[in-house]
Amino acid sequence: MPAGRSWIVTDGDTRRWEIKTAREGEVYHRPLDGNGAARGGWRPGLPPISDVKVLPESLREVLDLFAAREPDDDSC
């Protein structure tokens, strides 16, 4: 399981996901059932974000930071 802060997001209807940030700036998600229990393992990236209608403001700020990050020049 990735370490870091997590958020629960919903599509505003029935689907919910847990999103978690990892230490190295990676983001993972996993689907949740109606009771909040995980319905599978962690997957890299975000859930189908176009489906997410309710996004906590604190998560929005984190995602903006990840989007603004430029790739490291040392990685070549």
14-64 tens-digit pLDDT: 788 888 888 777 888 999 988 888 998 999 988 876 766 666 677 777 677
For 6, residues 6+ apart whose C-beta sits below 8 A from its C-beta are 18, 19, 20, 21
Domains along the chain? 6-45+52-69 (3.30.160)
pLDDT of residue 1: 53
The pLDDT confidence band at residue 3, using thresholds 50, 70 and 90, is low
pLDDT of residue 43: 92
Q: Contact 72/25 with Cβ under 8 angstroms? A: no
Q: Name the helix (H) or strand (E) containing 16.
A: strand 16-21
C-alpha radius of gyration, the chain, whole number: 13
pTM of the predicted model, to two decimals?
Answer: 0.63
The pLDDT confidence band at residue 65, using thresholds 50, 70 and 90, is low
pLDDT of residue 76: 43
DSSP 72: P
